[in-house]
Structure 1
């Protein structure tokens, strides 16, 4: 028979048993270390053979996927020489023969400033002058000295176009968008510019030598959210 005395005895035993249960150890989780970025290829070193020095790309900043490299052409319908920009993945492709393409890491236009469509590579320039569009100068008055009317910015270090620029036209008119150098390593692969496609100077120089005037340039539309970055 289950009496009040036996109930109290069982309750006391249960309480004592509960008090003597081992306390679980605290589990400490160590953060998973980021994989180190391997050393950059030699072609990202400093270049002193140009009219202005091209600094080396800093180590440990640019992921390996954004290095210049030959890959299988993901756009087999396009003829060799075509340039395709994939802004959401941060890639620029130059289609080659035999089913291959050269892929470069690229910074692209942030939301409200991005541009997509098909254009023509009208011409190329080494160490170009930067001529600020008037609408950009209206948004950023500090750029007024570098507008077309004021002659633009001299080439060289500090010029946002960097070592090379490829000028894109549509229906015979300047789109005002460029593929150019001068991209800071930390912004490569991100949608942060004011519309232009930006490459590392070493890659802009390489693309300049390979790309042909009159080539088709296809900039894919972006579906990615905006990021914060430089004006240019």
Structure 2
């Protein structure tokens, strides 16, 4: 038998049930749409070793090679400016314009800043592993300076080109070089010096001037930020 008390309790429960909203179904955020790459990131067939195309949908537009306003008009044409925090390299074309490239910067690169000299350049360079790196990674000993280094070609982390940086006539052991993975641009990699896409480092190599200044701006990030090992 339905008593008055039962009827009231039932009505309250029903009212609460009617006001309760179902849990919303989580909606995944749409993946960012990356526009098609410029044609200059296609494969380069006429190099001594294969330079594959940059995969579509991976490289964000802000890291594409592009002409921008020169922020350092006081420096001569050919000066290279590296901003490690923004992961950008600028080649000064004129007081008004610069070519900007996306790069990745070695985590150890935060330990060095200032002005170096572009001492020389190499196409498809040999990788001569410094003793300090061999101390950390003994498996690289077969590619030491004394043993002649790693031959150029696929698998050589220097990639298609390298620019060698000296300071007061002494090798800094820092390089601007190719073979960057497009997914690593904008990040800091453990022993990467200044890495560029092979397509971009070839473009920079063809424009770079012997003896030009290479300015590495000071980093404001804590050391080791976003490092990949």
Q: Same fold (TM over 0.5)?
A: yes
Alpha-carbon distance change, 193 to 40 in structure 1, aligned in 2, over 3 angstroms? farther
What is the SS of the residue equivalent to 1:65? helix
SS of the residue corresponding to residue 228 of structure 2 reads coil
Equivalent position SS for 1:174? strand
Match of 1:223 in 2: 220
- Whether the aligned pair in 1 keeps the contact of 2:80 and 2:92 (CA below 8 Å) is yes
User: Is 1:187 aligned to residue 184 of structure 2?
Assistant: yes
Matched, 1:207 2:204: yes
TM-score by length of 1: 0.88
SS in 1 for 2:76: coil
What is aligned with 2:79?
82
Q: Is the Cα contact below 8 Å between 1:193 and 1:229 reproduced in 2?
A: yes
Within the candidate set 92, 95, 100, 2:97 is matched to: 100
Q: Distance in 2 between matches of 1:14 and 1:79?
A: 85
Structure 1 residue ranges (4+ consecutive) displaced by more than 3 angstroms after TM superposition: 12-19, 111-114
Relative to the length of structure 2, the TM-score reads 0.89
Q: Which has the larger radius of gyration?
A: 1
Task: Specify whether residues 80 and 15 from structure 1 end up closer, same or farther in structure 2 by C-alpha distance, changes over 3 A only.
Answer: farther
1:71 aligned partner: 68
Shift of 1:17: 4.2
Q: Is contact 1:107-1:193 (8 Å) kept?
A: no
Match of 1:20, SS?
helix
Distance 1:101 1:63, change over 3 A: same
Match of 1:37 in 2: 34
Give the distance between the partners of 2:75 and 2:12, measured in 1 at CA. Answer: 76
Any conservation in 1 of the 2:73–2:95 contact (CA below 8 Å)?
no
Look up the match of 1:20: 15
Residue of structure 2 equivalent to 1:133: 130
Q: Name structure 1 gaps, 5 residues minimum.
A: 1-8
How far 1:19 sits from its partner (Å)? 4.4
Mapped to 2, the partners of 1:143 and 1:26 lie a distance apart of 56
Kindly indicate whether the alpha-carbon contact (under 8 Å) linking 2:187 and 2:227 is maintained by their aligned counterparts in 1: no
Q: How many residues align?
A: 221
Conserved 8 A contact 1:90-1:188: yes
- Structure 2 gap ranges (5+): none
* Structure 1 residues 15 and 79: alpha-carbon distance in aligned structure 2, compared to 1, 3 A threshold: farther
Higher mean C-alpha deviation, range 69-78 or range 39-48: 69-78
